[in-house]
Amino acid sequence: MSCEKLRPHITAMLDGSLESDLKRLVDDHARECPACMRFMHEQAEMTDLLNAAIVELNPPDRIWARIEDRLPETVGKGTGIAAWFNFNDLFASVRMSSVRYAAAGCLLFLLASVVFVNYRIGLGDEARLLSEVESYSISVEGNPFYQFAAVDSGNPFRLERNTK
Amino acid sequence: MKAVPNQAPLPLSDVTAEDLSAAVKRAQEGSSADFHLLYGMFGKPIYNFIWKLTGSIEDTEDLTQETFLKAHSELKRLRDPGQFKFWLYRIARNEVYQKRRRSQRSTPVSLDDDEIDYHNLLHDESKEMNPEARVLSLELNQVVDRALQAMAPKYRDVFVLAVFQKMSYDEITKVVGRSLLSVKTDIYRARLAVKDSLNAYLKRRER
């Protein structure tokens, strides 16, 4: 094995991550190759230097406080709707987030469609206004015997001819 | 194991794999106390991991917060609680990449010398060093940090995980999702880059 190919294994050995079957190979090569032996010593020195100089910071307490503030209500903790209906739970079995969002979008579209159709068919403002009137009649001017009357039959758009 | 509010961080070395898996499972079932316990174990390593990747304290705070919030919301999808550590590091790494992509779209990344004030950041233990060792430590950290920020992200990730987080190469493959040979080669290249920076610094210092 050439020096160039062997050196990644040397640094792996210094980091304690070299596979046991390669360790012997690296040892044998380094013993006979001054350049690789020098490389190994330099890297070992650098590791010691870095270990001595490593600065570790403690995360400030405010990070957890901010996390806690934003944690959503979870099962057993929340009350009301959040306690029994969790949007994430509903789609938890769907692994890909894009598919999950698509499924949520379809559900919302379906709900919006139901509301829209309801509004157009029977629960719109005009229908509500008409349904408040039990019955009414329309006279044709000049002919008091020819009238239409609307009867509250559940369908405000249906006019029945009155033969009175 | 029960968590109490404002408890001290729990060193990972004091936690067995069984205790960790049990805490993850309870957190998956909705236990806030156990999620806090997981933060106690991994808050500091993740914070330092993100800090070494970004080189910015302000970003590190935000990204640590986002990492744990993401972990909380996705925790139920983690099938093997034993993989929690690597899964959490993956989330942290992804958050850093996403942040970097957003920053690159808006403003160029600054590599100003004064961006990191190490004098105010050093760990308490460093205050017990003699003055010369302390100055050396401060300068070395700056040199290493500049070398890290200058290298390609794929080298930086694996170098930080191996040298600063003391992960084995096998563990690193689980975080970065690359082959063992690829990880080994990338760490080697990163080491060469850091060594060049350190050599240049040591030569300047000798003059």
Closest CA to A18 of A27, A31, A9, A29: A9
* Distance of alpha carbon B185 from alpha carbon B169, whole angstroms: 11
Q: What is the complex's ipTM, to 2 decimals? A: 0.79
Give B181's contacts in chain A (Cβ within 8 Å). 8
Give A68's contacts in chain B (Cβ within 8 Å). 36
Q: How many CB pairs under 8 A join A and B?
A: 114
Instruction: Render pLDDT for B20-44 as a digit per residue (tens, 0 to 9).
Output: 999 999 999 989 999 999 999 999 9
pLDDT band at B112 (very low <50, low <70, confident <90, very high): very low
Q: For residue A137, what pLDDT is reported?
A: 53
Q: Rounded mean pLDDT of A98-106?
A: 82
* Distance of alpha carbon B81 from alpha carbon B185, whole angstroms: 30
Instruction: Nearest by CB to B195, from A42, A62, A72: name it.
Output: A42
Q: For residue B107, what pLDDT is reported?
A: 54
Tokens of B18: 């069984």
Please give, rounded to a whole number of angstroms, the shortest distance from the CA of B198 to a CA of chain A: 8
Instruction: Nearest by CB to B169, from A12, A54, A92: name it.
Output: A12
A14-28, A117-131, B38-52: lowest mean pLDDT where?
A: A117-131
Spatial CB neighbours of A2, under 8 Å, sequence gap ≥ 6: none
Instruction: Nearest by CB to B126, from A55, A75, A88: name it.
Output: A55
